[in-house]
Structure 1
Amino acid sequence: MAAFHGSDLEKIEQIYGIKKEEITGFGANVNPLGLSPFMKDYLAAHLDVLCAYPDRNYTALRRAIADYTGADAENIMVGNGSTELISAAIQAIHPHAAVVLGPAYSEYERELTLAGSVLHYYDLCAEKDFVLDVEDLERFIMEHADGAKAAGGKLRLPGLLVLCNPNNPTSSAVPASQMRLLLSFCRENNIFVMTDETYAEFAPSVSEITSIPLAGEYDNLLVLRGVSKFWSAPGLRLGYAVTSNGELRGRIDAAKNPWTVSSLADAAGQIMFTDKEYIERTRSLIGKERERCIQTLAAIPELKVYPAYANFVLARSLNPEITARTLFEAAIRRKMMIRDCSDFHSLNDSYFRFCFMLPEDNTRLLTCIRELFA
């Protein structure tokens, strides 16, 4: 049986006979606080925005994102979730070949395949806790020149590097200092870098890992974010991208359909990033639960727990009789859904991932896991 995605609650309901409303979703990586009360009240009071088209240029929305991120509003694009922007960016860059840091979110591979790109996976090493070795990655990229000559007589290297930071599913992260080195190397070799920061706002220190401040300096960089995970609003379908490359922005805007961000998402985005109370509550909750869950798992001798920067943790069973499927089955019978990571590139059936929920829910899951390894 294939591993279930965090959004496959309908399938779970059919197969296991458990109502999806009763399942605690440890596989979706969504903020357990749900929509903020501030957002709910605001949207309820502004439903009339649905009667009008949004501003075609989303000027106020981009300004709000600029205030939140520190990016230049001119360098910001918005889309129907980060997924639309991933697709639009890959189609606009249209690399003949690309390197993807693995294991990785499957959407990158899908979009690169649709673009006709040759895909090379650079697999992060489990023995090194999935920490990126920038120099080794640079060697890997140089080794994957396709033999053809590019302009100037140089070897034609992959045209795009894709990474998620913090990475899904490993929860490892690349510090901004290392990203700077990587971006310099890629710029020298005409390689565009697309970094997905879906989980950056959950990191212990956002400023230490975000590449948004680098976007003004490096025109070969595109940084992606969305509101699905941190802001607990996957149904809002709002994402944004930051790049100082005006030519790329123009190609993406020319290819995108107009008004892909709804009036409601436009209105929500103009105020949601100002909700400092929600931001602080989320970061406090995730920070405390991340530390508690990792300490609890690390005390189990037959588990290997990897360092976590996002709102989820990757772990590996060292007991061959207890696989990720075993853990999934035990948890789902108790109405908790974790992520069996056996279908991620370079991982096997010993790896599993779960996100941090409310304290009482995390305690239930930790108890389930401890009992299996007792």
Structure 2
Amino acid sequence: MNIHGGNIWDFEGPPLLDYSSNINPFGVPDSFQRALLQHMEEFTRYPDLQYREVKRSVRQYLYAGGAEPDVSVILGNGSAEIFYKAMTWSSIMDVVISVPTFNEYARAASFAGKPCTAVPLKEEEEFRPNLSALLPYIKNGTLCLLCNPNNPTGQLLLGSELRPFLDELQRKGAYLMVDECFIEFSRQSLAQSMVEAVPSHPNLMVVRAATKFFGMPGLRLGYGITSNTAWAQELEAQMEPWHINAAAVVASRCIFQDLSYMEKTRRWFETERPTFLSGLLQWDSVHVYPGHACFFLLRAVDTARAEDIYTELLQEGILIRRAEGFENLSARHFRVALKDARSNAHFIRTIQKRGL
């Protein structure tokens, strides 16, 4: 069974304040809303089977301000489709991940029939990523999949850590896939992106999506880049025709150029994250893990308290993400998203009012 945040459909009654999903609170960019109304006629015809315009937009976005390198762009119905299809490549023998992390990686490996080794991160080290702990499990044909910043811990790997790790994998004949779906929220995180390493490392694929940063999980537009032509071609051969819909095609024309939306989002993140964190750190019955993402991993003092927190917040119309589905987390752990200032203030007032 798939377990994810944002599953508001299981609950009846008034709308919930959803702190279980890590989505940009600004929601759908105005630029896309306007473009959609202006291009409704596109829904009367099939999209380009090769999605040339969308791929060009992605390439220009990722390599803005410089010469566009010779890299392949792979599109997915969300980033999840790319994870699932990429693992079917015949050159990949097995998969290595750190846990806790996004649970679809292990599931995708299982679907592809590839053994998956889950290397546990140490809670006493705040679940800090440990690349050296992965190396003994990596050999020729291994795909190592990392989320940066990691979901659900929020921990960020530096580019200076990832690049020598990538080089070591290349020497071993192994591959690295980096999920950067949360990296665009801050300039500090974005500076650690591995996008620039793609042209010179054919054993690397970087994956992002419009889901989180552009606030449109329902659009289902993911994209990956690699300089490995064989990997890209085999991956694309697995895709169904017209798997990217016309709305996503229209979105690609405007959201990747919407500098105003990007700047507004990063200003919000850089202002609101420390403010909300300050409030969470006053919460005596929980431990807040350090991170760099648009969400926070927390641990209650005991399992009973964690269940009380979930239940009482739900009674107040607030939904948080329990640790179900995350390997190497306990029932004491839960995740809370970063939302707009008004909602975050309401969240802090609620836990104070309830004495949680």
TM (normalized to structure 2)? 0.93
Note the alpha carbon deviations across 1:280-309, whole angstroms, 9 max, x for none: 111111222211111222233432211221
Question: 220-229 or 254-263: which moved more?
Answer: 254-263
Question: How far apart, CA to CA, are the structure 2 residues paired with 1:111 and 1:267?
Answer: 29
Any stretches of 5+ residues in structure 2 without a counterpart? none
Specify the alignment match of 1:123 in structure 2. Answer: 120
Secondary structure of the residue aligned to 1:234 is coil
Specify the alignment match of 1:49 in structure 2. Answer: 42
**Among 328, 345, 349, the residue aligned to 2:331:** 349
Question: Structure 1 pair 48/161, CA: closer, same or farther in 2 (3 Å)?
Answer: same
Note the alpha carbon deviations across 1:322-344, whole angstroms, 9 max, x for none: 11x22111111111111111441
Matched, 1:90 2:87: yes
- Give 1:26 deviation, angstroms: 0.7
- Give 1:110 deviation, angstroms: 1.2
Specify the alignment match of 2:33 in structure 1. Answer: 40
Question: How far apart, CA to CA, are the structure 1 residues paired with 2:47 and 2:250?
Answer: 9
Question: Structure 1 pair 221/93, CA: closer, same or farther in 2 (3 Å)?
Answer: farther
Secondary structure of the residue aligned to 2:144 is strand
Question: 90-99 or 270-279: which moved more?
Answer: 90-99
- Give 1:93 deviation, angstroms: 4.7
Alignment of 1:1-374 (within 5 A): 5-13=4-12, 18-19=13-14, 22-70=15-63, 72=69, 74-93=71-90, 95-139=92-136, 141=137, 159-319=142-302, 321-323=304-306, 325-372=307-354
User: In 2, are the aligned partners of 1:31 and 1:282 still within 8 Å (CA)?
Assistant: yes
User: In 2, are the aligned partners of 1:103 and 1:123 still within 8 Å (CA)?
Assistant: yes
Secondary structure of the residue aligned to 1:322 is helix
- Give 1:224 deviation, angstroms: 0.7
Amino acid corresponding to residue 269 of structure 2 in structure 1: I
Question: How far apart, CA to CA, are the structure 1 residues paired with 2:70 and 2:53?
Answer: 9
Question: 250-259 or 2-11: which moved more?
Answer: 2-11
Please identify which structure carries the higher helix content.
Answer: 1
User: In 2, are the aligned partners of 1:316 and 1:350 still within 8 Å (CA)?
Assistant: yes
Question: How far apart, CA to CA, are the structure 2 residues paired with 1:4 and 1:114?
Answer: 16
Secondary structure of the residue aligned to 2:243 is coil
Secondary structure of the residue aligned to 1:217 is coil
Secondary structure of the residue aligned to 1:352 is strand
User: In 2, are the aligned partners of 1:330 and 1:368 still within 8 Å (CA)?
Assistant: no
Question: How far apart, CA to CA, are the structure 1 residues paired with 2:105 and 2:291?
Answer: 22
TM (normalized to structure 1)? 0.88
Any stretches of 5+ residues in structure 1 without a counterpart? 143-155
Amino acid corresponding to residue 115 of structure 2 in structure 1: V
User: In 2, are the aligned partners of 1:4 and 1:340 still within 8 Å (CA)?
Assistant: no
Note the alpha carbon deviations across 1:32-84, whole angstroms, 9 max, x for none: 11112221111111111111222222222112111211163742111211111
Amino acid corresponding to residue 63 of structure 1 in structure 2: R
Question: 85-94 or 28-37: which moved more?
Answer: 85-94
Question: How far apart, CA to CA, are the structure 1 residues paired with 2:70 and 2:215?
Answer: 24
Secondary structure of the residue aligned to 2:334 is strand
Question: How far apart, CA to CA, are the structure 2 residues paired with 1:93 and 1:85?
Answer: 15
- Give 1:134 deviation, angstroms: 2.3
Question: How far apart, CA to CA, are the structure 1 residues paired with 2:173 and 2:166?
Answer: 10
Question: Structure 1 pair 262/31, CA: closer, same or farther in 2 (3 Å)?
Answer: same
Note the alpha carbon deviations across 1:117-159, whole angstroms, 9 max, x for none: 11111122222222222223224x25xxxxxxxxxxxxx5561
Secondary structure of the residue aligned to 2:227 is coil
The count of residues paired between Structure 1 and Structure 2 equals 352
- Give 1:370 deviation, angstroms: 3.5
Note the alpha carbon deviations across 1:160-201, whole angstroms, 9 max, x for none: 111111111111111111110110111111111111111111
